[in-house]
Structure 1
Amino acid sequence: MVIFRTLLYTLFISLFAVSAQAQVKKDTIPAAVKRPSTTSFKSPSAKDTTSPKAKSAKDSATLKAGPLANKIEDSIYLSNGGIRLGLDISRFTLLYFQPYRKDVTVQADVRLGQKIYGAIETGWNSTSHSTDTTYSYKGSGIYSTIGIDYDFMKKKETTEQNMLYAGIRYGFARNTYEVSHFIMTNDYWHTTIEGNYPKTTITAHWIELVFGLRVEAAKNLFLGWGIREKIMLHSSAEDSHPPIVIPGYGSGTKRSQFDMTYTVSYMIPLYKVKVHVPRDGKK
């Protein structure tokens, strides 16, 4: 330990001595050497012989060496904007899984800016369901949704119209339904109850969270899919006799509903949208 401390003290003293010696040398440098004068004076009669062309080149070089040397102006170009009309063909596949219901859905969106799209959807539903002679249900109605989409896709070409988007919708439906007759049996008490539920009109409100993709398969012709989570805000239907299907929403007994769509759409170009794309700051 004694040897270690001795070596440590010796190293510390050596470093201190070197530092002090360097400081002394720095302070003993003559002032004329430390701060050489770079100021030059011209006689009042002397003329500047620099040509305007050389001076312009010098000023340009000075600018390039300044803080704006790496700044490149952003790229701005015009892209097509218009109305895109589409049909949700996934509604027709529901006939295979739920043959008692028919749905037709039409979609439209319009480009409001570089990344923002306004979206609207409207549709119709008809439901007719019966179980032998014990239950008979009929209902029909319409619905509409309105909302906005945000496009996350970075475009590689000025003419590219593909979209990877997320959005939100507000939905409203009006539905009329009735149960013309029903028969309920109780095996324990051996009783049978017959009745009906009169024609009733209800309204429903919900919100949708949307995520999807649209790809331009041909010029102005788009194919797209989307997934949606629908959350019921309010339904005027009675809990004892809810509708089988709420148009545009789904099951009348669920407070939330997951849905998928597949659309074919066509865009009608009507105007141009200014698109601003920051370039890379590197040369």
Structure 2
Amino acid sequence: MLKYFISTIILLCVFTSYSQEKEAVIVDSSSIDTVPVNKIKLDSTIYRQRYGLRIGVDLSKPIRSLLDDDYRGLELVGDFRVSYNFYVAAELGNEEKTTQEDNFNFTTNGSYVKLGFDWNTYQNWYGMENIINLGVRFGLSTFSQTLNDYQVYTPNQFWGEAAAGLSGADNLGEYSGLNAQWTEVVFGIKVEIVRNVFMSGSVRLNYLINDTQANQFPNLYVPGFNKVTDGSKFGVGYNYTISYLIPVFKSSKPKKKKE
């Protein structure tokens, strides 16, 4: 009987020891499995940025065409993302504008193209693709100027020539085959309002490099460049666009780890 009792005690001790050892192994293996997996997930967090063609239209020109009887215009815009912050960009448009000055009235009609690039200076939050860009454009325009009417200026109004409406009929008509080239510095913002749809606005500082003009009439307005100021080669412009992104592929950028 004593032998049986002692044997039973020994078996219980062995079983208990084995159970504790097995439990310890389970705890250790659990900790080993959990910690590395979490680390791998944190280290492998990446940005999946979309690369593709964004095309749109400048809304300011159709709106101005509706509100101003002397203006007609349309501009298409586009850009393509070639690296994480670098975009090639282009604008293509047409304008027809009639301008009334103090002594003459003229109509400008022509087309233009602008080519250049944008650099995104904004560091987006995770999952965002908004843009605050600085850019450069080279513009080229071909157009015509039509002198509709003008009055001969005279410093002596005693005889009332201006009141009589005397005009230089010999110089009236269209002057075609004109062109101009300029550069633009662009500052703009693009915001994704819904998936793949962006609203944007930009302001531009223009510098007129060269223009050809008729001998009888200067270029006072250039399509794409806007108003030409006498004695200055600088001008300003703006646009307000809506565009749609056509994704082509995605590229990853590792997320920066917090120190």
Query: Structure 1-normalised TM-score?
Result: 0.65
Give 3-state SS (helix, strand or coil) of 2:61's partner. Answer: helix
Matched-pair contact (CA < 8 Å) for 1:81–1:272: yes
Quote the Cα distance in structure 2 between the aligned partners of 1:116 and 1:98.
37
Structure 2 residue corresponding to 1:247, chosen from 203, 223, 245: 223
Instruction: Specify the SS of the correspondent of 1:92.
Output: helix
Say whether the 8 Å CA contact 2:114–2:140 is kept in structure 1: yes
Match of 2:193 in 1: 217
For structure 1, the 5+ residue unaligned runs are 1-71
Alignment of 1:262-277 (within 5 A): 262-277=240-255
Partner residue in 1 for 2:17: none
| 1:269 partner amino acid | P
Q: Percent identity?
A: 22
Query: Are residue 101 (structure 1) and residue 71 (structure 2) matched?
Result: yes
- AA in 1 matched with 2:174: K
Of the three residues 180, 187, 194, the one matched with 2:168 is 194
**Hey, what's the Cα distance between the residues in 1 that align with 2:90 and 2:82?**
13
Give the aligned partner of residue 205 of structure 1: 181
Q: CA deviation at 1:276?
A: 4.8
Distance 1:144 1:183, change over 3 A: same
| 2:108–2:222 CA contact under 8 A, matched in 1 | no
Letter in 1 for 2:125: K
C-alpha displacement at 1:155, in angstroms?
A: 1.9
Pick from 253, 259, 263: which aligns with 2:237? 259
Corresponding residue of 2:27: none
CA RMSD of aligned residues (A): 2.8
Instruction: Provide the secondary structure at the position in 2 that maps to 1:141.
Output: strand
Q: 1:183·1:194 contact (CA, 8 Å) conserved in 2? A: yes
How far apart in 2 are the matches of 1:172 and 1:270? Answer: 29
Residues 44-80 of structure 1: CA deviation (Å, up to 9, x unaligned)? xxxxxxxxxxxxxxxxxxxxxxxxxxxx979654311
Which residue number in structure 1 is paired with residue 96 of structure 2?
126
What's the counterpart of residue 140 of structure 1? 109
User: Post-superposition shift, 1:99?
Assistant: 4.2
4+ runs deviating over 6 angstroms: 72-75
The equivalent residue for 1:16 is: none
Residue in structure 1 matching 2:146, options 161, 171, 178? 178
Name the larger-Rg structure: 1
Q: CA deviation at 1:265?
A: 0.8
Asked if structure 2 preserves the Cα contact closer than 8 Å seen for 1:121 and 1:144, the reply is yes
* Cα displacement (A) at 1:199: 2.4
Equivalent residue in structure 2 for 1:169, among 126, 130, 137: 137
SS of the residue corresponding to residue 224 of structure 2 reads coil
Evaluate the alpha carbon distance shift between residue 181 and residue 272 of structure 1 in structure 2; reply closer, same or farther with a 3 A threshold: same
- Label 1:130 to 1:155 Cα distance change in 2 as closer, same or farther (>3 A): closer
1:152 counterpart residue number: 121
Distance 1:122 1:76 in 2: 36
Which of 75, 85, 89 is the aligned partner of 2:55?
A: 85
Greater mean deviation of Cα atoms: 249-258 or 225-234: 249-258
Per the alignment, residue 27 of structure 1 pairs with none
181-190 or 240-249, larger mean C-alpha shift: 181-190
Q: Aligned equivalents of 2:83 and 2:257: distance in 1?
A: 19
In the TM superposition, residue 181 of structure 1 has moved relative to its aligned partner by 3.9
Residue 260 of structure 1: how far off its partner (Å): 2.2
Residue 141 of structure 2 aligns with an amino acid whose one-letter code is: A
C-alpha distance in structure 1 between counterparts of 2:67 and 2:235, whole Å: 16
